[in-house]
A and B are shown apart, each in its own frame.
Chain A
Amino acid sequence: MWRWLATAYDIGTAPTLPVPMLNIINGGEHANNGIDVQEFMVVPHGFGTFTEALEAAVSIFHRLKGELDSRGLSTAVGDEGGFAPNLPRNVDALDLLVEAIDKAGYSAGSQVSVALDVAATELYRDGKYVFAGDDATLDAAGVVDLYEGWMRRGPIVSIEDGMSEDDFDGWRLLTERLGNDLQLVGDDLFVTNPARLREGIDAGLANALLVKVNQIGTLSETIAAMATASEAGYRNVMSHRSGETEDTTIADLAVGTSCGQGEDRCAEPQRSRGQVQPVAADRGGTGRGCPLRTPLRGCGPSMSLMTTPSHPTSLVAQPAGMSIAGLEPNRRIRHTKIVCTIGPATSDPAVLRQMVECGMNVVRLNFSHGEHGHHEAVVREIRAIAKELRRPLAIIADLQGPKVRIGDVPGSVSSLPETC
């Protein structure tokens, strides 16, 4: 089906596997606890393959379950597919999630980040937002301050429905203040409706569209909304619906439209597995992943698939040649990728490792110098470090080009005086 979708609705890019966003802790209307935020999702963006990304999410899901058990908290899975532990405040859920990421052996922020679905429409009463868990009644500016506080506490990359669906002023403020740092997803705001989306884009509200295929009614209207979003530089996040079945259509949609991100429930990884995996196999993939492109190439609009670890919508083996969409982690910290040229002083494995640890994202091999054997050794070393430290590292081969050189001059150096 994904292949048919890719052909039928040519959106101009090659099919890409989405970054999964897996709902893992629930609060709000759908749960009975002190958490106002409807969903806390894990976003395993720092992996080369869908398989590894999903494995990370599932392992965090189980680690979190262990943590909840050890604290005597409920591990029942709610109708959104995440845990609904009885925690007093929103930040407690965030802290617990970051701890689970850490204890599962992943790096919070560079490999796995957090996405929130606040469902703020449900918290909006008479022009104010009531965060009961935090015992706070806030105006829109106060809500943005609250989110900024959470961002300092955990690696949040995306907030969905951060303001009420009819609070356009609040949305504008949120987008102005956090739009450069975060993915701000409109669900209730846009309801996958191309006309509402158009109005929102014109008014500068949000920067991503939550795509629910049965919300507007037809596939054509859904795809039209996605195209409108992409053209405006908005990302698309393909979403499951609450209490959804094991149907795998959204996985095909996410891949066929190259949407980039997908939301699903954490409690049933078999589903993401169940479809994205067959999709992978269908593409003739061996299950061996290709290297994750660094966000250098993915800076344009991209999209996601939301799912739950309990149901990871069939995303497992990644077809050869098909890359997982890049979701920029830590956008609020750094927009620039660090490119380092490797020379004799830096090709030592210990130095290369230090450079990666200090933030190198891209390795430049300068083919004006050095033998192939030397470059090959650097490539091998970089791949090993990338794998071991689980960091996406890109390699640039910089060709010398048509270079003109001066001929033989006496001595090692001779100097041309000024205005001689």
Chain B
Amino acid sequence: MLTLLTRDLPTAEELPENELPVRLEALPSVVGPGHVIMLADGTVRLLVKEVDPATGRILTLVEDGGPISTAKGVNLPDVELPIPSLTEKDLRDLQFALGQQVDYIAQSFVRSPDDIEQLRKLINAHDGPHRPQIIAKIEKRTAVGATRRHHGGKRCRDGGAR
């Protein structure tokens, strides 16, 4: 078993065995028993057994083990995260990319048509005639139905990627 810590993260030296820090305080409020958590591009797969909202500790079973290191990604295919689809970094990168007149903007972890509309508005608000197309990366199970249903099938993205 492996326990994920989400609050008062210890330093690397103080990290107890079989515990792993995750940089998302809201994680215990969105995952529950039975959900899958993947680490390091899906090479490590954890199954949530118990969540303790009081301490922010999440007890998991390691279904697939493997090497991990500091700052590797955490992917939650079963749940929606309570954080904006476009982060501050994304907004900075978007402005840079628009300035470079790239042909496409790929949006990661798209959850709903609203996420795509938000990006489209930002693209349309940019000065000049250049309007890159949007590629929606459907990386979450919850997004599949949501984007397909949008406007009864009307186009909401210009390309798709998985």
- Say how far A394's CB is from chain B's closest CB, in angstroms: 4
| A414 interface residue per 8 A CB criterion | yes
The reply to whether A397 and B102 contact each other, CB–CB distance below 8 Å, is: yes
- Say how far B123's CB is from chain A's closest CB, in angstroms: 11
Interface residues as binary, A53-69 with B (CB distance below 8 Å gives 1, 0 otherwise)? 00000000000000000
The reply to whether A407 and B9 contact each other, CB–CB distance below 8 Å, is: yes
| A402 interface residue per 8 A CB criterion | yes
Select from chain A the residue with minimum beta-carbon distance to B83: A402
The reply to whether B96 and A375 contact each other, CB–CB distance below 8 Å, is: yes
Interface residues as binary, A273-296 with B (CB distance below 8 Å gives 1, 0 otherwise)? 000000000000000001101101
Chain A: residues with Cβ within 8 Å of the partner, total of 43
Interface residues as binary, B2-27 with A (CB distance below 8 Å gives 1, 0 otherwise)? 10010001011101001011111001
The reply to whether A406 and B72 contact each other, CB–CB distance below 8 Å, is: yes
Task: Assess A367 versus B93: contact at CB under 8 Å? Given A297-B159, A409-B21.
Answer: yes
| A169 interface residue per 8 A CB criterion | no
The reply to whether B100 and A406 contact each other, CB–CB distance below 8 Å, is: no
The reply to whether A397 and B93 contact each other, CB–CB distance below 8 Å, is: yes
The reply to whether B129 and A399 contact each other, CB–CB distance below 8 Å, is: no
Q: Which listed residue, A321, A395, A413, touches B102 by the CB 8 Å rule?
A: A395
The reply to whether B68 and A416 contact each other, CB–CB distance below 8 Å, is: yes
Interface residues as binary, A383-420 with B (CB distance below 8 Å gives 1, 0 otherwise)? 00000000000111111111111111111111111111
The reply to whether B64 and A418 contact each other, CB–CB distance below 8 Å, is: yes
The reply to whether B74 and A406 contact each other, CB–CB distance below 8 Å, is: yes
- Say how far B161's CB is from chain A's closest CB, in angstroms: 9
Chain B: residues with Cβ within 8 Å of the partner, total of 64
Task: Assess A405 versus B129: contact at CB under 8 Å? Given A396-B135, A399-B86.
Answer: no
The reply to whether A414 and B86 contact each other, CB–CB distance below 8 Å, is: no
Q: Which listed residue, A294, A321, A398, A410, touches B12 by the CB 8 Å rule?
A: A410
The reply to whether A404 and B15 contact each other, CB–CB distance below 8 Å, is: no
| A71 interface residue per 8 A CB criterion | no
Select from chain B the residue with minimum beta-carbon distance to A379: B100
The reply to whether B100 and A419 contact each other, CB–CB distance below 8 Å, is: no
| B90 interface residue per 8 A CB criterion | yes
Interface residues as binary, B111-148 with A (CB distance below 8 Å gives 1, 0 otherwise)? 00000000000000000011111010100000000000
The reply to whether B71 and A401 contact each other, CB–CB distance below 8 Å, is: no
The reply to whether A404 and B76 contact each other, CB–CB distance below 8 Å, is: yes
Select from chain B the residue with minimum beta-carbon distance to A410: B12
State the CA gap A297–B131 with chains docked (Å).
13
Give residues 13-71 of B contacting A (CB, 8 Å). 13, 15, 18, 20-24, 27, 39, 44, 61-71
Task: Assess A400 versus B87: contact at CB under 8 Å? Given A375-B96, A406-B70, A418-B62.
Answer: yes
State the CA gap A321–B61 with chains docked (Å).
54
The reply to whether B67 and A414 contact each other, CB–CB distance below 8 Å, is: yes
| A30 interface residue per 8 A CB criterion | no
The reply to whether A414 and B23 contact each other, CB–CB distance below 8 Å, is: no
| A353 interface residue per 8 A CB criterion | no
| A372 interface residue per 8 A CB criterion | yes
Max count, chain B CB within 10 A of own CB: residue among A399, A403, A412: A399
The reply to whether B106 and A406 contact each other, CB–CB distance below 8 Å, is: no
Interface residues as binary, B88-113 with A (CB distance below 8 Å gives 1, 0 otherwise)? 01100110110011111111110000
Select from chain A the residue with minimum beta-carbon distance to B11: A408
Interface residues as binary, A295-327 with B (CB distance below 8 Å gives 1, 0 otherwise)? 011000000000000000000000011000000
Max count, chain B CB within 10 A of own CB: residue among A294, A362, A413: A413
Q: Which listed residue, B11, B62, B100, touches A397 by the CB 8 Å rule?
A: B100
Select from chain A the residue with minimum beta-carbon distance to B46: A416
The reply to whether B102 and A409 contact each other, CB–CB distance below 8 Å, is: no
Select from chain A the residue with minimum beta-carbon distance to B104: A396
The reply to whether B21 and A396 contact each other, CB–CB distance below 8 Å, is: no
The reply to whether B70 and A409 contact each other, CB–CB distance below 8 Å, is: yes
Select from chain B the residue with minimum beta-carbon distance to A291: B103
| A365 interface residue per 8 A CB criterion | yes
The reply to whether A420 and B18 contact each other, CB–CB distance below 8 Å, is: yes
List residues of chain A with CB under 8 Å of any chain B CB.
290-291, 293-294, 296-297, 320-321, 362, 364-365, 367, 372, 375-376, 379, 394-420
